[in-house]
A and B are shown apart, each in its own frame.
Chain A
Amino acid sequence: MLPSTFEYVAPTSLDEALQALVAGAGDAKIMSGGQSLLPMMKLRLASPGTIIDLNGIAGLDTLEEVDGMLHIGALVRHGEIERSELIRDRYPMMRDASLHLADPLIRNRGTFCGSLAHGDPAGDWATVAATLGAEIHAVGPDGAVVHSAIDFQTSMFETQLGSDQILVEVRIPAPKPGQGSAYLKIERKVGDYAAAAVGVMIVVDGGTITEASIGLTNVGPLTIHAADAAASLVGKSIDDAAAFEEAGRLAMEISEPSSDLRGPEEYKRDLVRVLTKRALRTAGARAQGKEA
């Protein structure tokens, strides 16, 4: 459990960090919380030549709503999201996910943005970001770049982030009136990847669902955007149990889990169905101001 030799760089500005990244020539890794990177290095699954530590750079710890967007800086820890009143009151899906993400110790150090940049195919934040329509803001040698969360991840541990780019902030649209959301995760114990998890966001206007988005975690190669399931809800009544049932069935159909120690694939598929229904009920209650 000892990593290979590496250089450690602690820049105090983004420019310095970018220079170090370019100097690393593809063999450098950015570190924010280090909670995924360091275990991989200790297990020698990763052996970067250089670690560029962002923790000394000022201004990357923003967690606030500005002009209709929630800004989450590169150094915002999972635990800050978990404890934030703003998140609790206005982004309940994020609050739900934060409570089931890793374990309390890791949550105090690991970061939201680092989790997305890491590109773990089973990451909870990837589903949350995609389902809430997040923008991913990076900087590179040619200036600022914006990626969409929905197709940010390209394969296992691969994202659209260029090897010369640094993810500096994620922005999430502020909730619309009548919006409700929820994230439900089944895990074997704290710190485990999801056996299955479902994030849903709906907007309710006068008792009718006008907008919906559903994301599925760890039941396919990457986060699954259950577009058909979400579309099937639009125009339906928030009290339409059959519509929730149908959305659950459609989400189950698009999932493609594989069997592992968390359970056989048929179990995980059924979890998607059950969790989608339950998450819709919770999100619906929240949309109507009734905490479920």
Chain B
Amino acid sequence: MTAATESTVNGAIGQSPKRVEDDRFIRGMGNYVDDVQLPGMLHMAIYRSPFAHATINSIDTSRALAMPGVVACITGQDLVAHGLAWMPTLAGDTQAVLATDKVRFQGQEVVCVIAKTSYQAEDALEGIDVDYDPLPVIVDPKRALDADAPIIRSDLEGKTDNHIFTWESGDAEATDRVFAEADIVIKLDTLYPRIHPAPMETCGAVADYNKATGKMTIHLTSQAPHAHRTLFAMVAGLPEQKLRIISPDVGGGFGNKVPIYPGYVVATAASLLIGKPVKWVESRTENLMSTGFARDYHMEGELAATKDGKMLGLRANVLADHGAFNAQAQPSKWPAGFFNIATGSYDLQAAHCKVDGVYTNKAPGGIAYRCSFRVTEAAYLIERLVDNLAHETGIDAAELRKQNFIQPEQFPYKSPMGWEYDSGDYEKAMNIALELVGYEELRKEQAEKRAKGEVMGIGFSSFTEIVGAGMSKICDIAGLAMIDSAELRIHPTGKGVLKLGVQSQGQGHETTFAQIVANELGIPYTDIAVEHGDTDHTPYGLGTYASRSTPTGGAATAIVARKLREKARQIAAHLLECAPDDLEFDSGTFTVKGSPEKSKTIQECVFGAYQSDLPDDMEKGFEDVTYYDAPEMTYPFGTYICVVDIDKGTGQVKVRKFVAVDDCGTRINPMIVDGQIHGGLTQGFGTAMMELISFDEDGNCFGGNFMDYLIPTAVESPDWTLGECTTPSPHHPFGAKGVGESPTVGSPQAFVNAVVDALHPYGITNIDMPLSSHKVWKVLRDAGVTDE
């Protein structure tokens, strides 16, 4: 990496200007998919299955068709004629667009109604009559593998069970040897439950087919508009040059807007067939019940160690519940994502993991919710095991971690399951966190409280992330290398536009990416307009998820700006009649070394690029494009510490303090980084304390609205105390690593570790999330603890 120069230009890296996009959001002038209104636009609503598993005998849409305003009813059989009844998933499975043979989860799409108004479409759902024969239901993934379990995917030829894949990583034999020699083996059987990203804006599309030009424009809630364009072209056979995806303002994605959903496909097919724009925007219930859920990992972990706390090896066996279709969104070669980052921040001798995916009668997924492909589950497992090892050995949880951290001089560090960590200084981040939380005092207080019968706990998480996918040699989606891009054009007056392959769902790209240009070219960030999300007007890229925008698109932006800086240098040398090497560049001005009075600003150089007086071998204009293929992943890390007090009467857990020290390398806009961390910590808090999509034995979903699917608000969220540590990435152009997902990856286990630490004196070694008051209450009462 080239160290970022300390630029004084307005908005350069390290400054915290306010987000330029907030002006329109705060005024209610954002433009979301549901804001799109087109002449003659029709509306679509989806009739969904009330059963989790049932044969479809017949579908009768005649009553609905007779209702006011109804234009068409589309069934799975109608799509068969166009080859669209089934679609491929990003994971290489197939998924029903509209059910033809049977329904496989409650809420599955069966019939689409197209009507003149959204109310008429909704009314007509009551006129759809489907005759079902209910089938036995599989809810428990462990039961899914029983010999007598009903076969959910009877559509797959020759399928005789509900098993999807087995994926292994690491060295099983070496791991066995390490375990055989270990003094202590800590075992943990835990469920990372099924949760949902629940973005504020639900998913939707407006498909607009122009019969005259043959052009299909789709306004789509998409985190990856370019990849979606290619997939639409491949699946629906639409010519890619006549396909335009516009992902306008998007109200949160968190991975939920990476997959392609049946509603998108049917709205597009309907517009193509009817020749009018068709809008589909799902309700909150539809979003929670049918779109990409996350996690649902049943994990058995084992950690081998010596009696004095030297960690030796890790073993993990995972049962992954993917629901009715394997619709997870991971790089194609990674069926369990990067779960093999599970050795985390620790220098282990050997490790092995095995993941089995299974089908159940639940909504399909699972997507990487604010998570770089299963790193959330991996970080949870290792950090829970380490805290339990601390309890088992009696070694302080902070001390134990320090003893086992990968040391700064070991980077680049090759992990036992094959990753090469770029950089890290784990103890430094840990020490900052210990200082911020006042660790020694807290442990004293805890001892005093325990003596009085009060219940208090302190939990740690010293996580390592793997983000920025990245690395076309190992990462692709449906064959598309996971590159990203930036196109920069500066107009004659020195103000310009940056076009990105990545897309923003609230991350603040219109500010931070302009800041990268400000830093590299010395043009104030307010002079750079950032465009993204429209495939007709931006260069190709794989999109925004997995904390990859800054590692990939950010790198591309810095590189394209540097290319143009070199062009500006040539122009400045020409204008100042000196050699390019004689020029120094600082904060937007080229100065002749030793002659400070001889200088040209970047704006003068840009204007020069559009004038007649240019070097003979130089093209006019001031623009360039870069496609960036990351050489390595980046590895953000941090230490989080959570302090809880527990009410013995009610089991309520109160988070008294939460300290988060993140190292995401160079921070472009520290205020936006803090905002990202606040948001992610709050989502991690929700995951740990309250979020859950559960089902009864018939596959009825509990969690289809915000009365049942609980997400935290400002009222219950704790205060967050943030600390900072900076270890720049050695291979990223300006040392950034990506931060969006660190807090959701890093925080849930800190809450759980704190509660387990509090309850450890009562013999508790595990409580699965969410940490409901009644679960804590039961632990206390079972241990004979009364309310006084």
Contacts and interface: CB of A to CB of B under 8 A. Distances in A.
Interface stretch (A25-33, A130-138, A145-153, A267-275): A267-275
Interface in B99-141: 118-119, 122-123
B437 interface: no
Interface in B737-788: 772-774, 777-778, 781, 787
Contact of A104 (B118, B285, B712, B715): B715
A290 interface: no
A144 to B, nearest CB: 36
A195 interface: yes
Interface in A246-262: 261-262
Given A186-B652, A186-B773, A274-B650, A103 B715 contact: yes
A278 B649 contact: yes
Contact of B122 (A2, A186, A270, A277): A2
Contact of B773 (A5, A104, A188, A191): A188
Interface string B642-663: 0000000111100000000000
Nearest to B45: A2
A192 B777 contact: no
B708 interface: yes
A188 B713 contact: no
A261 B778 contact: no
20 contacts: A1-B285, A2-B118, A2-B122, A5-B119, A104-B715, A188-B690, A188-B772, A189-B690, A190-B716, A192-B707, A195-B773, A261-B692, A262-B774, A267-B773, A270-B781, A270-B787, A273-B787, A274-B650, A274-B787, A275-B650
A195 B774 contact: yes
Contacts of A103: 713, 715
B446 interface: no
B694 interface: yes
A2 B119 contact: yes
B166 interface: no
A200 to B, nearest CB: 16
A278 B712 CA distance: 26
A263 interface: yes
A267 B651 CA distance: 9
A190 B715 contact: yes
A264 B774 contact: yes
Given A1-B284, A2-B122, A192-B707, A267 B712 contact: no
Nearest to B119: A2
A273 B649 CA distance: 9
A4 interface: yes
A5 B126 CA distance: 13
Given A1-B285, A267-B651, A267-B777, A261 B713 contact: no
Given A2-B119, A104-B715, A261-B702, 5 more contacts: A4-B123, A189-B690, A190-B713, A191-B707, A273-B787
B710 interface: yes
B416 to A, nearest CB: 41
A192 B283 contact: no
Query: Chain A: interface secondary structure?
Result: loop
A68 to B, nearest CB: 36
Contact of A189 (B118, B692, B716): B716
Nearest to A274: B649
Nearest to A248: B787
B721 to A, nearest CB: 22
Interface in B153-172: none
A271 B283 CA distance: 35
Interface string A59-84: 00000000000000000000000000
Query: Chain B: interface secondary structure?
Result: loop
A186 B713 contact: no
Nearest to B43: A2
A264 B774 CA distance: 7
A188 B122 CA distance: 32
Contacts of A188: 690, 710, 772-773
Contacts of A195: 773-774
A275 B707 CA distance: 23
A253 B285 CA distance: 38
B708 A261 contact: yes
A216 B63 CA distance: 47
Contacts of B707: 191-193
Contacts of A271: 650
Contacts of B773: 186, 188, 195, 263, 267
B179 to A, nearest CB: 38
Interface string B692-721: 101000000010011110101101100000
Contact of A263 (B284, B690, B692, B772): B772
Contacts of A264: 774, 778
A261 B650 contact: no
A277 B694 CA distance: 34
A261 to B, nearest CB: 6
Contacts of B649: 274, 278
A267 B702 CA distance: 20
Nearest to A2: B122
Contacts of B706: 191
Interface string B280-312: 000111000000000000000000000000000
Interface in B243-287: 283-285
Contacts of B787: 270, 273-274, 277
A271 B652 CA distance: 11
Nearest to A42: B283
A263 B774 contact: yes
Contacts of A278: 649
Contacts of B650: 186, 271, 274-275
A264 B772 CA distance: 11
B592 to A, nearest CB: 62
A13 B651 CA distance: 50
Given A1-B284, A274-B650, A189 B777 contact: no
Contact of A267 (B119, B694, B778): B778
Contacts of B772: 188, 263
The 9 closest A-B pairs by CB, nearest first: A263-B774, A274-B649, A190-B715, A267-B774, A1-B283, A2-B122, A274-B787, A189-B710, A2-B119
Contacts of A5: 119, 123
A196 B56 CA distance: 43
A270 B777 contact: yes
Contacts of B694: 261
Contacts of A186: 650, 652, 773
Nearest to A196: B650
A189 B651 contact: no
A244 to B, nearest CB: 11
A140 to B, nearest CB: 33
A240 B706 CA distance: 43
Interface in B10-69: none
B68 to A, nearest CB: 10
Nearest to A278: B649
Nearest to A4: B123
A87 to B, nearest CB: 20
Interface string A135-168: 0000000000000000000000000000000000
A278 B284 CA distance: 38
Interface string A272-292: 011101100000000000000
Nearest to B703: A261
B222 to A, nearest CB: 22
Could you say which of B284, B649, B706, B781 has the most chain A C-beta atoms within 10 Å of its C-beta?
B649
A189 B285 contact: no
Contacts of B122: 2
Contacts of B283: 1
B70 to A, nearest CB: 15
A189 B123 CA distance: 33
Interface in A41-60: 43
Contacts of A267: 651, 773-774, 777-778
B193 to A, nearest CB: 13
